[in-house]
């Protein structure tokens, strides 16, 4: 479970009664796509013939550009998560990160799902004994990618949801 029981209005679009603007929603989707793309090689190295995780990341970016709709993007996210089902370890987490990145178009709060699964992927791929340090490095890398307009929002979200995101954001 990576979503809190109560929806944070900061991650609900204005037209749905929250405070999230479309430009910030787009920035959240792009940041989530960046986090997921960073670990895509972990799934593509074991399933080079399966395009679903990469397609999910591409759909997230295409949604921001207005080239595909939310429903298509959400479906691409579901397909990427389907690609994860029979995988284990780092490849599975990387596919989940891609799926979570795509569904940010539907529910903005999935931005942390993409980031947390990417951190889990890096932890799982690290040599034995280096997983926690590798996860902290990935977390810091992700934070370096945050656009200024959403930086404080995401950092606060990480602080609030760290416990339900496998303590992924202790970096």
For residue 20, being part of any structural domain is answered with: yes
Each residue's pLDDT expressed in tens, for the chain with a length of 171 residues: 577 788 899 999 999 999 999 999 999 999 999 999 999 999 999 999 999 999 999 999 999 999 999 999 999 999 999 999 999 999 999 999 999 999 999 999 999 999 999 999 999 999 999 999 999 999 999 999 999 999 999 999 999 999 998 899 999
Q: What is the pTM of this model?
A: 0.96
* Owning domain of residue 31: 10-165
Q: Could you tell me if residue 2 is inside a domain? A: no
In a domain, 30, yes or no: yes
Bridge partners, residue 20, by sequence: 13
Q: What is the torsional sign of CA 24, 28, 33, 38?
A: positive
CA dist., res. 106 & res. 123, Å (int): 28
Tally of domains in the chain: 1
């Amino acid at each position: 479970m990576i979503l809190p029981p109560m929806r944070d209005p900061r991650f609900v679009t204005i037209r749905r009664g929250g405070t999230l603007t479309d430009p910030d929603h787009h920035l959240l989707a792009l940041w989530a796509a960046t986090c997921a793309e960073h670990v895509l090689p972990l799934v593509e190295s074991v399933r080079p013939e399966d395009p679903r995780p990469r397609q999910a990341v591409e759909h997230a970016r295409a949604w921001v550009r207005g080239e595909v709709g939310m429903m298509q993007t959400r479906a691409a996210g579901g397909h990427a998560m389907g690609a994860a089902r029979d995988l284990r370890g780092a490849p599975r987490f990387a596919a989940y990160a891609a799926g979570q990145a795509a569904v940010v178009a539907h529910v903005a709060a999935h931005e942390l799902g993409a980031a947390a699964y990417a951190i889990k992927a890096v932890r799982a791929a690290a040599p034995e004994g280096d997983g926690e340090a590798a996860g902290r490095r990935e977390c810091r890398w992700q934070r370096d990618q945050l656009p200024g307009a959403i930086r404080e929002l995401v950092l606060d979200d990480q602080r609030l949801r760290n416990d339900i995101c496998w303590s992924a954001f202790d970096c």
